[in-house]
Structure 1
Amino acid sequence: MYKYLIISTLWLFGFVGCQNKAVLYEGRKLKGVCFVAPPQKIDAEEFDPVKKINAEWVALTPYGFTRDGSPNFQYNKSSDGHWWGESPKGTAECVRMAHEKGLKVMLKPHAWIQSFKSSYTGDMNFETDAEWQIFEKSYGEYLLDFAKVADSTHVEIYCIATEFKNFVAKRPEFWHKIIRDIKKVYHGQLTYAENWDCYEKVPFWDELDFIGIDGYFPLSEEKSPNAEILKKAWKKHKSEIENFSREVQKPVLFTEMGYQSTDFTTHKPWESYSKHPDNDSLQAEAYKAFFDSIWQEKWFAGCFVWKWFPMMKRDNDFGKKHEFRDKYTPQGKIGEAVLQSYFQKL
């Protein structure tokens, strides 16, 4: 018992696992935003607004695509409307520009399931082993191609995949092998982004540097709770995450976290298609509660806020369509000032 208490105390202060360089990256917690892949080529100036809010990292997310029920996975298909920023070439250029602006990068490939039922990757399933093998072949090539991009552009962290609950549970051998293969071509730090409700079930955390969690934890069913109510709600989640971090002996990185600028957003923060009325103040209060509750924890390595759009040229259709319209982005809202303030003082 005495030995356990010593080990637990040392872990909380960041000493146990010192051989793991990810305990706190270069002594600083990661202050990042999820930077949306641009459809066309951009200039490096698109990263200036990220710097303006005192963020130091961007997560770049080159999507690949499959249709519900199909084992065929595709990426880098400009003929199918895939965006420039999702191609290996465009991604590499975005990494270069981010580095040019003094930002560090997490590269986070993400599968998108085109479906009328659910686009949640955690639900993806195939009936036969043959179908799984078809998917694993093309999906594995995708992960390795971007691992090579990550290594050649000196990306600081490679997030090997995002929210594959069922895939991880049913095909663990694929994941152990792909991690070994990725390590042969990429020599930086590794994580995986699992959803907030099943991160404890991932069997390969010991092979990675961070426990990656997409932190959309439910906090309150109220229409517009204040930060104090939300901070109380964080206590249970915080205790569970800390216990798991101690058990696995790895620091926790929120590979995504965020809230829509609507009523009720802290009830189910993961629901992307909210029809609730706008509520910029609640998004800001949710950010405050998160930073006040989680940031100073010894086991916590940092976060990437979902999500941040390149504005591109204002006369561009992409810029017109997305400028401050998306409910998750803090851009042009109270939440942007909150992030700027917390990122500065933290």
Structure 2
Amino acid sequence: MISRAIVLFLVLLGCQTTPPFVYDGPRLKGVNLVAPRQQPGSESLAAVREMGGDWVAVVPYGFCRKNEPHFYFSGNMGDRGKWQWWGETPDGVAETIRMARQQELKVMLKPHVWMQGGSHLDLMFDREADWQTFEADYRQYVLHYAHLADSLGVDLYCITTELDRFAVARPAFWSRLISEVKTIYKGKLTYAANWDRYDQIPFWNELDYVGVDAYFPLSDEQTPSVNTLIANWKPHLRRLKAISYRLQKSILFTEFGYRSCTFSAQRPWESETDCTASETAQANAYAALLETVWSQPWFAGGFVWKWFMTDAHKVRERDQFSPQGKSAQVVLRKNWQ
């Protein structure tokens, strides 16, 4: 007769349908670059390497308007594209990649949609004709930068950033697009999903990393302690671990960051709300993420939001996200070096 203990063991063994996943590569330690208005000096990325970083994300923007189906980028704007900042132009993107190479930094190319009059997160259309118009333009955009990524030997191509409603609504389009990208670019691929929708994306199996823009809400306190934030990471870690195990893929934080403001861990994605300056709140949030998430066996690393190649950001209120010259940069250096 089989003992009850053995029966219980066999039942539990049968329930183990999703084996653990372990990422066996080096953690990506990166920053998302802000495109500068003018070409910076060749030494502008040295600080990333000095801090212990080894990757940069280069972000070429494309543009659309809310409820209009046309999409514009450097490849279809002609003379209208001359107003773009240097770092957003094709020449600027290519030169930024070369500058990163000079500092022995690896590169993720990460196209991003800028929607006038609304949020790219909620891009949707009611008419099939509008979807097809937009998709035709958008396909050109993604393939344009796939060619650039291939020609310059980019290490990782993030095919799109946070178009999650689009991704869920039109999975057949995305599968075709990913197949086309793979005929052009032979490196690794990811997609940057928003923190609250990453588990809904239908095409993770076709990519190499599960990319997450990790603006998870962590605390309603004004300046939460590192220990409080670590404790509040636990439910998010469970969800991330579950999708990693289910897909047998590593999780990559394509963006993570906090403003140097009080309440910065409450709704970390917000950039337009009032800010009472607090380097401590930002530094504590960085410390908790690095201590809690970075050592997870399924975690592949992440990219700070955001990093400037020049000092011009010092006059712009919105750029409280940058850790540069603040206590958060000290935390990053301590962990990354």
**TM-score normalised to the size of structure 2?**
0.91
Alignment CA distance shift 1:171-1:231 (3 Å): same
Distance 1:89 1:210 in 2: 28
Q: In terms of mean alpha carbon deviation, does 271-280 or 254-263 score higher?
A: 271-280
TM-superposed CA distance for 1:125, in Å, is: 1.3
Distance 1:151 1:44 in 2: 23
SS in 1 for 2:44: helix
Alignment CA distance shift 1:319-1:213 (3 Å): closer
Q: Which amino acid aligns with 1:326?
A: D
Structure 2: runs of 5 or more not aligned: 1-11
**Corresponding residue for 1:172?**
171
Aligned match of 2:19 in 8, 17, 21? 8
Alignment CA distance shift 1:69-1:35 (3 Å): same
After superposition, the C-alpha distances for 1:100-148 in whole angstroms (9 at most, x for unaligned) are 1100000000001011xx3x21211112111111111111101000011
**Corresponding residue for 2:50?**
52
The answer (yes or no) to whether the contact 2:18–2:245 under 8 Å persists in 1 is no
Q: Which 4+ runs in 1 deviate beyond 6 A?
A: none
Distance 2:178 2:214 in 1: 23
Q: Which amino acid aligns with 2:220?
A: E
SS in 2 for 1:28: coil
TM-superposed CA distance for 1:192, in Å, is: 0.2
Residues 1:342 and 2:335 are matched in the alignment: yes
SS in 2 for 1:106: strand
Q: Kindly report which structure 2 residues correspond to 1:186-205, keeping only aligned pairs within 5 A, or say none.
A: 186-205=185-204
The answer (yes or no) to whether the contact 1:162–1:193 under 8 Å persists in 2 is yes
Q: Which amino acid aligns with 2:173?
A: F
Alignment CA distance shift 1:59-1:4 (3 Å): farther
Q: Sequence identity of aligned pairs in percent?
A: 43
Alignment CA distance shift 1:184-1:275 (3 Å): same
Alignment CA distance shift 1:275-1:166 (3 Å): same
TM-superposed CA distance for 1:43, in Å, is: 2.8
**Corresponding residue for 1:91?**
93
The answer (yes or no) to whether the contact 2:210–2:250 under 8 Å persists in 1 is yes
Aligned match of 1:104 in 100, 103, 106? 106
Distance 2:14 2:38 in 1: 57
The answer (yes or no) to whether the contact 1:107–1:158 under 8 Å persists in 2 is yes
Q: Which amino acid aligns with 1:112?
A: W
TM-superposed CA distance for 1:7, in Å, is: 6.4
SS in 2 for 1:45: coil
The answer (yes or no) to whether the contact 2:280–2:327 under 8 Å persists in 1 is yes
Alignment CA distance shift 1:7-1:165 (3 Å): closer
TM-superposed CA distance for 1:8, in Å, is: 1.8
TM-superposed CA distance for 1:4, in Å, is: 6.4
Q: Which amino acid aligns with 2:100?
A: A
**Corresponding residue for 1:233?**
232
The answer (yes or no) to whether the contact 1:37–1:83 under 8 Å persists in 2 is yes
**TM-score normalised to the size of structure 1?**
0.89
Distance 2:321 2:276 in 1: 13
After superposition, the C-alpha distances for 1:66-86 in whole angstroms (9 at most, x for unaligned) are 111111111125635222212
Distance 2:208 2:235 in 1: 25
Distance 2:16 2:294 in 1: 24
Residues 1:259 and 2:272 are matched in the alignment: no
After superposition, the C-alpha distances for 1:172-192 in whole angstroms (9 at most, x for unaligned) are 111001100000100100000
TM-superposed CA distance for 1:38, in Å, is: 1.7
Structure 1: runs of 5 or more not aligned: 15-22
Alignment CA distance shift 1:8-1:320 (3 Å): closer
The answer (yes or no) to whether the contact 1:44–1:98 under 8 Å persists in 2 is no
